[in-house]
Amino acid sequence: MTVAQGIFYLIAALAVAGGLGVVLARNTVYAALFLILALLAVAGIYILLASEFLALVQVLIYAGAITVLLLFALMLTRVGDLEETMVGAQWPLAVVASILLVGLLITTIATSDWPGDADGMITRIPFETLGEALFRQWAVPFEIASLVLLIALVGAIVLARDEEGDVEEAE
């Protein structure tokens, strides 16, 4: 086993542990913190795959910005709000469905004919190429995506404002 493999297994174990923590933790704040661990571990895997840019974006946006929303929402609500577990009557069905899904995903990944990198060599793509592709070749879809996000942002603010107005009227 090479050093890189050892590091990979370590990071993968961290990611899996984080993922399990998200699902199994009773306390929702713990779950959110485990989510940060899982996301950071995935960033580590990106570094192993020589995609530093992707790794840093993962750290900055997923671990550093998205989770803050979750934490804000969770920490400002009472921990006891969530009833013990969310295990319902259909849990055996859920288990079967998840196992089937995992099996399907693993067989698909294992049997697919992946182009390019399947020989174990990593092709390093400099982030300049990435930028060129994003802002030259795919500039229009990129702009559309930003516009959609902006509209969502403005929409959320408008909706929140409306509710505030209702409260005032009710009084």
Partner 1 sequence: MLALTYDVGNIWLDALLGLLAIVALMTVSTFMLIWLERKIAARIQMRLGPMRTGPYGLLQTIADALKLIGKEDLRPKTADRWVFELAPFAVFVPTFTAFVAIPFTRDWAIAFLDLGLFYVIAVTGLSFVGFLMAGWASDNKYALLGGMRAAAQLISYEVPMVVTLVAVAMVAGSLNLSEIVLFQGRVPLFVWQPLGFFIFIVAALAELERQPFDIPTAESEVVGGPFIEYSGIRWSMFFLASYTGLMIYSLLGAVVFLGGWEWPLGTEAGLWLQLLLIFFKTSLFIAFFMWVRFSLVRLRIDQLMSYCWKVLIPLAFLQVLLNGFVLVYGWPDGMLLVTSGAGLALAMYIIYRAVDTEPRELRMVPARGGGSSVQPATADATGFE
List residues binding partner 1 (CB under 8 A).
Answer: 29-30, 33, 36, 52-53, 56-57, 59-60, 63-65, 67-68, 71-72, 75-76, 126-127, 167-168, 171
Nearer to partner 1, 3 or 86 (CB): 3
Q: What's the token pair of residue 70?
A: 């979750």
Smallest distance, partner 1 to C-beta of residue 98, A: 28
Nearer to partner 1, 8 or 127 (CB): 127
62 vs 54: CA distance, rounded Å:
11
Q: What's the token pair of residue 8?
A: 């990979």
Smallest distance, partner 1 to C-beta of residue 16, A: 19
Residue with tokens 């984080």: 18
Nearer to partner 1, 95 or 139 (CB): 139
Smallest distance, partner 1 to C-beta of residue 56, A: 4
